[in-house]
Amino acid sequence: MQKISLKLTIASTLSSILLFFLFSSPPQLDSANLTSVKDTLQTSRLSWGARVEADGTSVGGSRVQLQAAPAAPLNSTSTSNLHAGDSILINANSYTVVDILDGDEFTVTPVVVSGDADDGDPIYLEQKPRHVVTFDTASAVANGYFRILVPADSSGPNDGNLDDDGFDFGGGTVDVIASDTGNYDFVTGVATASGAAGCTSPANYHCFEVHYSGNGGIGTSITVNIGNTNGSNTPIAPGETSGHSEGTADTYSFQVKNYDSSDVQVDASTGKIAMIEAVRVTATVDPTISFSIAGVGIGTTACGNPADITSTALAVPFGTLSLNTFVDLAQKLSVSTNADGGYSVTASEDDELGKDGATSPYIPDTDCDGEDCTISSDTEWNTASDNGFGYSLDNSVGTGSTAPSIAFEYDDGALNFSARPFANIAASDSPVEVFAAGDVADTQNIYACYRLSVGATQEAGDYENQVTYTATATF
Protein backbone atom coordinates (compact mmCIF):
# COMPACT_ATOMS: atom_id res chain seq x y z
CA MET A 1 0.00 0.00 0.00
CA GLN A 2 2.86 2.33 0.71
CA LYS A 3 4.26 1.64 -2.72
CA ILE A 4 1.03 2.59 -4.39
CA SER A 5 0.72 5.69 -2.25
CA LEU A 6 4.21 6.79 -3.27
CA LYS A 7 3.36 6.59 -6.98
CA LEU A 8 0.26 8.66 -6.55
CA THR A 9 2.15 11.30 -4.67
CA ILE A 10 4.78 11.61 -7.38
CA ALA A 11 2.16 11.85 -10.15
CA SER A 12 0.30 14.50 -8.25
CA THR A 13 3.48 16.51 -7.72
CA LEU A 14 4.45 16.36 -11.43
CA SER A 15 0.97 17.54 -12.45
CA SER A 16 1.23 20.50 -10.12
CA ILE A 17 4.63 21.49 -11.51
CA LEU A 18 3.36 21.23 -15.11
CA LEU A 19 0.27 23.35 -14.40
CA PHE A 20 2.44 25.96 -12.66
CA PHE A 21 4.63 26.45 -15.72
CA LEU A 22 1.72 26.45 -18.15
CA PHE A 23 -0.14 29.23 -16.38
CA SER A 24 2.70 31.26 -14.92
CA SER A 25 4.85 31.37 -18.15
CA PRO A 26 2.68 31.12 -21.28
CA PRO A 27 4.76 30.65 -24.50
CA GLN A 28 5.43 33.66 -26.77
CA LEU A 29 3.54 33.42 -30.06
CA ASP A 30 5.27 34.39 -33.34
CA SER A 31 3.71 37.37 -35.09
CA ALA A 32 1.79 36.69 -38.27
CA ASN A 33 3.10 37.86 -41.64
CA LEU A 34 1.54 40.82 -43.35
CA THR A 35 1.05 39.79 -46.98
CA SER A 36 1.52 41.41 -50.41
CA VAL A 37 4.11 43.76 -48.91
CA LYS A 38 5.82 46.05 -51.41
CA ASP A 39 7.29 49.52 -51.71
CA THR A 40 6.58 50.90 -55.18
CA LEU A 41 8.99 53.77 -55.66
CA GLN A 42 8.15 56.64 -57.96
CA THR A 43 11.53 55.87 -59.53
CA SER A 44 14.11 53.25 -58.61
CA ARG A 45 16.92 55.42 -60.03
CA LEU A 46 19.91 55.70 -57.75
CA SER A 47 21.05 59.09 -56.63
CA TRP A 48 24.47 59.98 -58.01
CA GLY A 49 27.47 61.41 -56.23
CA ALA A 50 30.93 62.10 -57.60
CA ARG A 51 33.87 64.46 -57.13
CA VAL A 52 35.41 67.17 -59.30
CA GLU A 53 38.71 66.56 -61.06
CA ALA A 54 40.36 69.98 -61.23
CA ASP A 55 42.56 69.17 -64.25
CA GLY A 56 39.51 68.99 -66.52
CA THR A 57 37.33 71.58 -64.79
CA SER A 58 37.84 75.33 -64.80
CA VAL A 59 36.09 78.38 -63.39
CA GLY A 60 34.09 80.09 -66.13
CA GLY A 61 34.00 76.93 -68.23
CA SER A 62 31.13 74.57 -68.87
CA ARG A 63 33.06 71.28 -68.78
CA VAL A 64 33.18 69.16 -65.61
CA GLN A 65 35.48 66.18 -65.20
CA LEU A 66 35.09 63.46 -62.56
CA GLN A 67 37.77 62.06 -60.31
CA ALA A 68 38.79 58.51 -61.18
CA ALA A 69 38.78 57.20 -57.60
CA PRO A 70 35.63 56.93 -55.43
CA ALA A 71 35.45 58.48 -51.98
CA ALA A 72 32.45 57.42 -49.88
CA PRO A 73 29.66 58.39 -49.92
CA LEU A 74 30.37 59.83 -53.39
CA ASN A 75 31.28 56.56 -55.04
CA SER A 76 30.60 57.28 -58.69
CA THR A 77 33.43 57.78 -61.16
CA SER A 78 31.23 57.51 -64.25
CA THR A 79 28.61 59.62 -66.03
CA SER A 80 26.50 56.52 -66.73
CA ASN A 81 23.70 57.55 -64.34
CA LEU A 82 23.76 61.17 -65.46
CA HIS A 83 21.49 62.55 -68.20
CA ALA A 84 21.15 65.79 -70.10
CA GLY A 85 18.64 68.01 -68.28
CA ASP A 86 19.48 66.68 -64.80
CA SER A 87 19.69 69.26 -62.02
CA ILE A 88 22.84 68.78 -59.98
CA LEU A 89 24.70 70.49 -57.17
CA ILE A 90 28.42 71.21 -57.05
CA ASN A 91 28.96 72.08 -53.42
CA ALA A 92 25.74 74.07 -52.81
CA ASN A 93 25.44 75.65 -56.27
CA SER A 94 22.85 74.49 -58.81
CA TYR A 95 23.66 73.52 -62.39
CA THR A 96 21.83 71.82 -65.25
CA VAL A 97 23.54 69.10 -67.25
CA VAL A 98 23.69 70.10 -70.92
CA ASP A 99 25.46 67.14 -72.51
CA ILE A 100 27.30 63.94 -71.64
CA LEU A 101 30.67 64.10 -73.40
CA ASP A 102 32.10 60.73 -72.40
CA GLY A 103 32.46 58.36 -69.46
CA ASP A 104 33.88 60.95 -67.08
CA GLU A 105 33.06 64.37 -68.55
CA PHE A 106 29.90 66.41 -69.01
CA THR A 107 28.91 70.02 -69.61
CA VAL A 108 26.70 72.27 -67.51
CA THR A 109 24.91 75.57 -67.52
CA PRO A 110 25.54 78.13 -66.12
CA VAL A 111 29.33 78.05 -66.27
CA VAL A 112 31.28 76.75 -63.28
CA VAL A 113 31.66 79.41 -60.61
CA SER A 114 34.61 80.09 -58.33
CA GLY A 115 34.95 77.47 -55.62
CA ASP A 116 33.35 74.68 -57.66
CA ALA A 117 36.37 73.67 -59.77
CA ASP A 118 38.67 72.37 -57.02
CA ASP A 119 39.86 68.79 -56.65
CA GLY A 120 37.37 66.77 -54.63
CA ASP A 121 34.48 69.24 -54.71
CA PRO A 122 31.31 67.17 -54.18
CA ILE A 123 28.80 66.73 -57.01
CA TYR A 124 25.28 65.60 -56.14
CA LEU A 125 22.33 64.38 -58.16
CA GLU A 126 19.66 63.68 -55.56
CA GLN A 127 16.66 61.55 -56.42
CA LYS A 128 13.65 61.96 -54.14
CA PRO A 129 11.13 59.29 -55.12
CA ARG A 130 7.82 58.96 -53.36
CA HIS A 131 7.38 55.62 -51.58
CA VAL A 132 4.00 53.93 -52.00
CA VAL A 133 3.99 51.12 -49.44
CA THR A 134 1.16 48.61 -49.79
CA PHE A 135 0.31 45.48 -47.81
CA ASP A 136 -2.57 43.33 -46.60
CA THR A 137 -3.27 42.99 -42.87
CA ALA A 138 -2.98 39.65 -41.09
CA SER A 139 -4.91 40.36 -37.87
CA ALA A 140 -7.73 42.61 -36.69
CA VAL A 141 -5.81 44.93 -34.36
CA ALA A 142 -8.02 47.63 -32.85
CA ASN A 143 -6.90 51.24 -32.42
CA GLY A 144 -3.28 50.54 -33.32
CA TYR A 145 -0.72 51.75 -35.78
CA PHE A 146 1.52 50.63 -38.60
CA ARG A 147 5.24 51.35 -38.56
CA ILE A 148 7.28 51.27 -41.76
CA LEU A 149 11.03 51.06 -41.36
CA VAL A 150 13.04 52.34 -44.34
CA PRO A 151 16.80 51.64 -44.36
CA ALA A 152 19.15 54.47 -43.40
CA ASP A 153 22.90 54.83 -43.57
CA SER A 154 24.85 54.36 -40.36
CA SER A 155 26.69 57.66 -41.00
CA GLY A 156 25.00 61.02 -41.52
CA PRO A 157 21.54 59.66 -42.42
CA ASN A 158 19.71 62.92 -41.68
CA ASP A 159 21.95 65.65 -43.12
CA GLY A 160 20.09 66.28 -46.37
CA ASN A 161 22.83 64.80 -48.59
CA LEU A 162 22.74 61.50 -50.42
CA ASP A 163 24.15 58.48 -48.59
CA ASP A 164 25.73 55.35 -50.05
CA ASP A 165 24.01 52.76 -47.86
CA GLY A 166 20.43 53.89 -47.30
CA PHE A 167 17.89 56.68 -47.66
CA ASP A 168 18.68 60.09 -46.17
CA PHE A 169 15.87 61.67 -44.17
CA GLY A 170 16.44 64.94 -46.01
CA GLY A 171 17.36 67.22 -43.15
CA GLY A 172 13.77 68.38 -42.60
CA THR A 173 10.39 66.72 -42.46
CA VAL A 174 8.85 63.87 -44.41
CA ASP A 175 5.14 63.70 -45.24
CA VAL A 176 3.32 60.45 -44.41
CA ILE A 177 -0.27 59.82 -45.48
CA ALA A 178 -2.49 56.72 -45.35
CA SER A 179 -5.95 56.42 -46.86
CA ASP A 180 -8.92 55.42 -44.69
CA THR A 181 -10.25 51.99 -45.57
CA GLY A 182 -12.75 49.67 -43.91
CA ASN A 183 -12.15 49.60 -40.16
CA TYR A 184 -9.12 51.88 -40.33
CA ASP A 185 -9.58 55.61 -39.72
CA PHE A 186 -6.11 57.12 -40.09
CA VAL A 187 -4.70 60.34 -38.71
CA THR A 188 -1.77 62.31 -40.14
CA GLY A 189 1.35 60.17 -40.23
CA VAL A 190 4.51 60.66 -38.19
CA ALA A 191 8.06 60.51 -39.56
CA THR A 192 11.08 59.97 -37.31
CA ALA A 193 14.66 60.09 -38.53
CA SER A 194 17.07 57.30 -37.82
CA GLY A 195 18.64 57.54 -34.38
CA ALA A 196 16.02 59.94 -33.07
CA ALA A 197 13.78 59.18 -30.10
CA GLY A 198 11.39 56.36 -30.91
CA CYS A 199 13.44 55.07 -33.85
CA THR A 200 16.57 53.58 -32.32
CA SER A 201 15.71 49.89 -32.47
CA PRO A 202 16.46 48.38 -34.83
CA ALA A 203 19.28 50.78 -35.65
CA ASN A 204 19.85 52.41 -39.04
CA TYR A 205 16.22 52.78 -40.05
CA HIS A 206 13.90 55.74 -40.50
CA CYS A 207 10.48 55.20 -38.90
CA PHE A 208 7.21 56.18 -40.53
CA GLU A 209 4.03 55.62 -38.55
CA VAL A 210 0.34 55.91 -39.31
CA HIS A 211 -2.02 55.59 -36.34
CA TYR A 212 -5.66 54.67 -36.68
CA SER A 213 -8.88 54.19 -34.80
CA GLY A 214 -11.27 51.35 -35.56
CA ASN A 215 -11.42 47.60 -35.06
CA GLY A 216 -8.96 46.73 -37.83
CA GLY A 217 -9.51 43.81 -40.13
CA ILE A 218 -8.00 40.69 -41.66
CA GLY A 219 -6.86 40.86 -45.27
CA THR A 220 -7.51 44.61 -45.59
CA SER A 221 -5.35 46.34 -48.20
CA ILE A 222 -3.47 49.33 -46.79
CA THR A 223 -1.59 52.03 -48.72
CA VAL A 224 0.86 54.43 -47.09
CA ASN A 225 2.47 57.24 -49.07
CA ILE A 226 5.85 58.49 -47.84
CA GLY A 227 6.88 61.79 -49.41
CA ASN A 228 5.50 63.60 -52.45
CA THR A 229 5.72 63.21 -56.21
CA ASN A 230 7.40 66.64 -56.54
CA GLY A 231 10.21 65.61 -54.19
CA SER A 232 9.23 67.92 -51.34
CA ASN A 233 9.41 66.45 -47.83
CA THR A 234 10.64 63.17 -49.31
CA PRO A 235 13.65 61.00 -48.36
CA ILE A 236 16.70 61.12 -50.64
CA ALA A 237 17.42 57.88 -52.46
CA PRO A 238 20.85 56.32 -51.86
CA GLY A 239 23.73 56.66 -54.26
CA GLU A 240 25.98 53.83 -55.33
CA THR A 241 27.24 51.56 -52.60
CA SER A 242 30.97 51.00 -52.23
CA GLY A 243 31.94 48.39 -54.81
CA HIS A 244 28.69 48.90 -56.74
CA SER A 245 28.52 47.15 -60.11
CA GLU A 246 26.91 49.31 -62.78
CA GLY A 247 23.75 47.76 -64.18
CA THR A 248 23.21 45.63 -61.07
CA ALA A 249 20.77 46.86 -58.44
CA ASP A 250 21.73 47.64 -54.86
CA THR A 251 19.06 46.03 -52.69
CA TYR A 252 17.72 47.11 -49.32
CA SER A 253 15.30 45.54 -46.84
CA PHE A 254 12.40 47.48 -45.39
CA GLN A 255 9.99 46.38 -42.66
CA VAL A 256 6.28 46.85 -42.04
CA LYS A 257 4.90 46.22 -38.54
CA ASN A 258 1.45 46.37 -36.95
CA TYR A 259 1.25 47.43 -33.29
CA ASP A 260 -1.68 47.53 -30.90
CA SER A 261 -2.63 50.48 -28.69
CA SER A 262 -0.18 49.25 -26.02
CA ASP A 263 2.78 49.41 -28.42
CA VAL A 264 2.96 45.64 -28.64
CA GLN A 265 3.99 44.31 -32.03
CA VAL A 266 1.32 41.99 -33.39
CA ASP A 267 2.22 41.35 -37.03
CA ALA A 268 5.22 42.12 -39.21
CA SER A 269 6.81 41.44 -42.56
CA THR A 270 9.93 42.39 -44.54
CA GLY A 271 10.16 43.57 -48.14
CA LYS A 272 12.94 44.51 -50.56
CA ILE A 273 13.84 47.72 -52.40
CA ALA A 274 16.11 47.59 -55.45
CA MET A 275 17.90 50.72 -56.66
CA ILE A 276 19.71 50.92 -59.99
CA GLU A 277 20.97 53.41 -62.57
CA ALA A 278 18.50 54.82 -65.06
CA VAL A 279 19.04 53.65 -68.63
CA ARG A 280 20.21 56.43 -70.91
CA VAL A 281 18.39 55.93 -74.21
CA THR A 282 19.96 57.85 -77.07
CA ALA A 283 18.95 58.41 -80.65
CA THR A 284 19.91 60.83 -83.39
CA VAL A 285 17.39 62.44 -85.70
CA ASP A 286 19.03 63.98 -88.75
CA PRO A 287 18.10 67.60 -89.37
CA THR A 288 15.75 67.87 -92.32
CA ILE A 289 13.96 70.50 -94.33
CA SER A 290 11.82 69.99 -97.40
CA PHE A 291 10.66 72.81 -99.63
CA SER A 292 8.54 72.39 -102.72
CA ILE A 293 6.87 74.57 -105.35
CA ALA A 294 3.79 73.26 -107.15
CA GLY A 295 1.83 74.61 -110.06
CA VAL A 296 -1.77 75.77 -109.68
CA GLY A 297 -4.39 74.87 -112.25
CA ILE A 298 -6.51 77.30 -114.21
CA GLY A 299 -9.62 78.34 -112.29
CA THR A 300 -8.12 77.51 -108.87
CA THR A 301 -8.88 80.34 -106.46
CA ALA A 302 -5.84 81.88 -104.79
CA CYS A 303 -5.66 85.33 -103.23
CA GLY A 304 -9.35 85.72 -103.92
CA ASN A 305 -9.04 85.31 -107.71
CA PRO A 306 -9.30 82.28 -110.00
CA ALA A 307 -6.07 81.56 -111.83
CA ASP A 308 -6.28 82.66 -115.48
CA ILE A 309 -3.59 80.23 -116.66
CA THR A 310 -2.12 77.01 -115.27
CA SER A 311 1.33 77.38 -113.74
CA THR A 312 3.92 74.65 -113.13
CA ALA A 313 6.58 74.19 -110.50
CA LEU A 314 9.14 75.86 -112.76
CA ALA A 315 7.16 78.34 -114.80
CA VAL A 316 4.65 81.19 -114.47
CA PRO A 317 3.57 81.60 -118.14
CA PHE A 318 1.51 84.78 -118.44
CA GLY A 319 1.24 84.20 -122.19
CA THR A 320 0.02 86.89 -124.58
CA LEU A 321 -1.19 89.96 -122.72
CA SER A 322 -4.11 92.27 -123.40
CA LEU A 323 -3.48 95.93 -122.69
CA ASN A 324 -4.47 97.29 -119.28
CA THR A 325 -5.84 93.92 -118.23
CA PHE A 326 -4.76 91.89 -115.17
CA VAL A 327 -3.57 88.32 -115.62
CA ASP A 328 -3.43 86.29 -112.39
CA LEU A 329 -1.46 83.08 -111.81
CA ALA A 330 -0.35 81.31 -108.65
CA GLN A 331 2.00 78.68 -107.26
CA LYS A 332 1.77 76.69 -104.05
CA LEU A 333 4.81 76.77 -101.74
CA SER A 334 5.19 74.10 -99.04
CA VAL A 335 7.72 73.63 -96.20
CA SER A 336 8.35 70.90 -93.63
CA THR A 337 11.24 70.81 -91.16
CA ASN A 338 12.23 69.30 -87.82
CA ALA A 339 14.33 72.34 -86.90
CA ASP A 340 13.49 73.48 -83.38
CA GLY A 341 14.05 77.08 -84.46
CA GLY A 342 11.68 76.76 -87.41
CA TYR A 343 12.34 78.12 -90.86
CA SER A 344 12.17 81.20 -93.08
CA VAL A 345 11.34 81.48 -96.79
CA THR A 346 12.57 84.54 -98.66
CA ALA A 347 11.81 85.73 -102.19
CA SER A 348 13.63 87.87 -104.73
CA GLU A 349 13.79 88.49 -108.46
CA ASP A 350 16.99 88.75 -110.47
CA ASP A 351 15.68 91.90 -112.20
CA GLU A 352 12.49 93.38 -113.58
CA LEU A 353 10.85 91.57 -116.51
CA GLY A 354 13.24 92.39 -119.40
CA LYS A 355 12.71 91.90 -123.12
CA ASP A 356 14.39 88.61 -124.09
CA GLY A 357 15.88 88.58 -120.61
CA ALA A 358 17.83 91.78 -121.15
CA THR A 359 17.74 94.78 -118.88
CA SER A 360 15.96 97.05 -121.31
CA PRO A 361 13.25 97.54 -122.31
CA TYR A 362 11.44 96.06 -119.32
CA ILE A 363 8.05 95.76 -117.67
CA PRO A 364 8.35 97.73 -114.43
CA ASP A 365 7.58 96.31 -111.04
CA THR A 366 4.28 97.49 -109.61
CA ASP A 367 4.01 100.43 -107.26
CA CYS A 368 0.30 99.65 -106.73
CA ASP A 369 -2.66 102.01 -107.14
CA GLY A 370 -1.28 104.68 -104.90
CA GLU A 371 2.30 104.47 -106.20
CA ASP A 372 3.25 103.64 -102.61
CA CYS A 373 3.82 99.90 -102.23
CA THR A 374 7.39 98.71 -101.69
CA ILE A 375 9.23 95.41 -101.21
CA SER A 376 8.42 95.65 -97.49
CA SER A 377 5.06 97.44 -97.54
CA ASP A 378 1.91 96.28 -99.36
CA THR A 379 -0.97 98.45 -100.54
CA GLU A 380 -4.02 97.94 -102.75
CA TRP A 381 -3.55 97.16 -106.44
CA ASN A 382 -6.86 96.89 -108.26
CA THR A 383 -6.45 99.29 -111.16
CA ALA A 384 -5.31 97.36 -114.23
CA SER A 385 -4.20 100.53 -116.01
CA ASP A 386 -1.68 101.02 -113.20
CA ASN A 387 0.69 98.66 -114.99
CA GLY A 388 3.44 96.45 -113.62
CA PHE A 389 4.41 93.10 -112.14
CA GLY A 390 3.84 92.17 -108.50
CA TYR A 391 2.67 89.49 -106.12
CA SER A 392 0.49 88.77 -103.13
CA LEU A 393 0.24 85.94 -100.59
CA ASP A 394 -2.52 83.66 -99.29
CA ASN A 395 -2.33 81.16 -96.44
CA SER A 396 -3.31 77.70 -97.67
CA VAL A 397 -4.06 75.47 -94.69
CA GLY A 398 -4.74 71.99 -95.97
CA THR A 399 -5.79 68.84 -94.13
CA GLY A 400 -3.29 68.01 -91.41
CA SER A 401 -1.33 71.23 -91.82
CA THR A 402 -1.03 74.39 -89.76
CA ALA A 403 -0.77 78.00 -90.89
CA PRO A 404 2.67 79.61 -91.02
CA SER A 405 3.44 83.20 -90.16
CA ILE A 406 2.98 85.14 -93.38
CA ALA A 407 4.50 88.51 -94.33
CA PHE A 408 1.20 89.90 -95.62
CA GLU A 409 -1.99 88.68 -97.26
CA TYR A 410 -4.00 89.79 -100.27
CA ASP A 411 -6.90 90.95 -98.08
CA ASP A 412 -4.80 92.92 -95.57
CA GLY A 413 -6.90 95.66 -94.00
CA ALA A 414 -10.02 94.63 -95.99
CA LEU A 415 -8.29 95.57 -99.25
CA ASN A 416 -9.43 93.76 -102.38
CA PHE A 417 -5.92 92.83 -103.52
CA SER A 418 -2.94 93.94 -101.50
CA ALA A 419 0.38 93.59 -103.32
CA ARG A 420 4.10 94.26 -103.30
CA PRO A 421 6.89 94.22 -105.89
CA PHE A 422 9.55 91.55 -105.50
CA ALA A 423 12.90 92.48 -104.02
CA ASN A 424 15.14 93.24 -107.00
CA ILE A 425 18.66 91.83 -106.70
CA ALA A 426 19.84 93.92 -109.69
CA ALA A 427 18.78 97.01 -107.75
CA SER A 428 20.76 95.81 -104.69
CA ASP A 429 17.64 94.80 -102.76
CA SER A 430 18.02 92.04 -100.20
CA PRO A 431 15.64 89.05 -100.39
CA VAL A 432 12.48 89.59 -98.32
CA GLU A 433 10.88 87.04 -96.02
CA VAL A 434 7.48 85.94 -97.28
CA PHE A 435 6.55 83.30 -94.71
CA ALA A 436 8.11 81.57 -91.70
CA ALA A 437 7.59 79.52 -88.55
CA GLY A 438 9.37 79.55 -85.19
CA ASP A 439 9.14 75.83 -84.48
CA VAL A 440 9.07 72.47 -86.22
CA ALA A 441 6.64 72.44 -89.11
CA ASP A 442 4.74 69.75 -90.95
CA THR A 443 3.56 70.74 -94.41
CA GLN A 444 2.96 74.46 -94.03
CA ASN A 445 1.62 75.94 -97.27
CA ILE A 446 0.99 79.30 -98.87
CA TYR A 447 -0.07 80.53 -102.31
CA ALA A 448 2.25 82.96 -104.06
CA CYS A 449 -0.07 84.93 -106.36
CA TYR A 450 1.44 86.71 -109.37
CA ARG A 451 -0.26 89.64 -111.14
CA LEU A 452 0.76 91.40 -114.36
CA SER A 453 -0.62 94.15 -116.60
CA VAL A 454 0.93 96.23 -119.39
CA GLY A 455 -0.01 99.47 -121.13
CA ALA A 456 -0.16 100.63 -124.74
CA THR A 457 3.40 101.94 -124.72
CA GLN A 458 4.96 98.64 -123.71
CA GLU A 459 7.29 97.53 -126.51
CA ALA A 460 6.28 94.28 -128.17
CA GLY A 461 8.36 91.21 -127.46
CA ASP A 462 8.98 88.37 -125.04
CA TYR A 463 9.76 89.36 -121.46
CA GLU A 464 11.13 87.29 -118.61
CA ASN A 465 12.93 87.29 -115.30
CA GLN A 466 13.63 84.79 -112.51
CA VAL A 467 12.02 84.67 -109.09
CA THR A 468 13.97 82.71 -106.47
CA TYR A 469 12.60 81.35 -103.19
CA THR A 470 15.06 80.30 -100.49
CA ALA A 471 14.01 78.16 -97.49
CA THR A 472 16.34 78.22 -94.50
CA ALA A 473 15.89 76.19 -91.32
CA THR A 474 17.23 77.16 -87.90
CA PHE A 475 18.59 74.12 -86.06
Q: Looking at 28-32, 139-143, 205-209, 258-262, which range is the least confident one? A: 28-32
Same domain (yes/no): 97, 193: no
Please tell me the predicted confidence (pLDDT) of residue 398: 64
Same domain (yes/no): 321, 437: yes
The residue out of 246, 275, 304 marking a domain boundary is 275
Same domain (yes/no): 176, 266: yes
Q: Looking at 356-365, 405-414, 434-443, which range is the least confident one? A: 405-414
Summarised one tens digit per residue, pLDDT across range 397-423 is 766 677 899 999 999 876 789 999 999
Q: Is the pLDDT of residue 37 over 90?
A: yes
Q: Is the pLDDT of residue 219 over 70?
A: yes
Q: Is the pLDDT of residue 56 over 80?
A: yes
Same domain (yes/no): 453, 466: yes
CATH code, 55: 2.40.30
**Banded pLDDT at 13 (limits 50, 70, 90):** very low
In a domain, 155, yes or no: yes
In a domain, 281, yes or no: no
Same domain (yes/no): 118, 136: no
SS3 labels along the chain: CHHHHHHHHHHHHHHHHHHHHHHHCCCCCCCEECEEEEEEECCCECCEEEEECHHHCCCCCCEEEECCCCECCECCCCCCCCCCCCEEEECCEEEEEEEECCCCEEEEECCCCCCCCCCCCEEEECCCCCEEEEEECCCCCCCCEEEEEEECCCCCCCCCCCCCCCCECCCCCCCEEECCECCEEECCCEEECCCCCCCCCCCCEEEEEEEEECCCCCCCEEEEEECCCCCCCCCECCCCCCCCCCCCCEEEEEEEEEECCCCCEEEEEEEEEEEECCCCCCCCCCCCEEEEEEECCCCCEECCEECCCCCCCCCCCCCCCCECCCEEEEEEEEEEECCCCCEEEEEEECCCEEECCCCCCEECECCCCCCCCECCECEECCCCCCCEEEEEEEECCCCCCCCCEECCCCCHHHCCCEEECCCEHHHCCCCEEEEEECCCEEEEEEEEEEEEEECCCCCCCCEECCEEEEEEECC
**Banded pLDDT at 5 (limits 50, 70, 90):** very low
In a domain, 5, yes or no: no
In a domain, 209, yes or no: yes
**Banded pLDDT at 31 (limits 50, 70, 90):** low
Please tell me the predicted confidence (pLDDT) of residue 12: 32
State which residues form the domain around 438: 289-473
Summarised one tens digit per residue, pLDDT across range 105-163 is 999 999 999 999 999 999 999 999 999 999 999 999 999 999 999 999 999 999 999 99
The mean predicted confidence, pLDDT, of the chain is: 91
Same domain (yes/no): 300, 162: no
In a domain, 388, yes or no: yes
Q: Is the pLDDT of residue 434 over 50?
A: yes
Q: What is the pTM of this model?
A: 0.67
Summarised one tens digit per residue, pLDDT across range 77-118 is 999 999 999 999 999 999 999 999 999 999 999 999 999 999
Same domain (yes/no): 349, 417: yes
**Count of domains for the chain:** 3
Same domain (yes/no): 459, 322: yes
The residue out of 214, 248, 275 marking a domain boundary is 275
In a domain, 315, yes or no: yes
Same domain (yes/no): 96, 225: no
**Banded pLDDT at 283 (limits 50, 70, 90):** confident
Q: Is the pLDDT of residue 230 over 70?
A: yes
Please tell me the predicted confidence (pLDDT) of residue 178: 97
Q: What percent of the chain has pLDDT over 70?
A: 92
Same domain (yes/no): 321, 457: yes
Please tell me the predicted confidence (pLDDT) of residue 403: 85
Q: Is the pLDDT of residue 8 over 80?
A: no
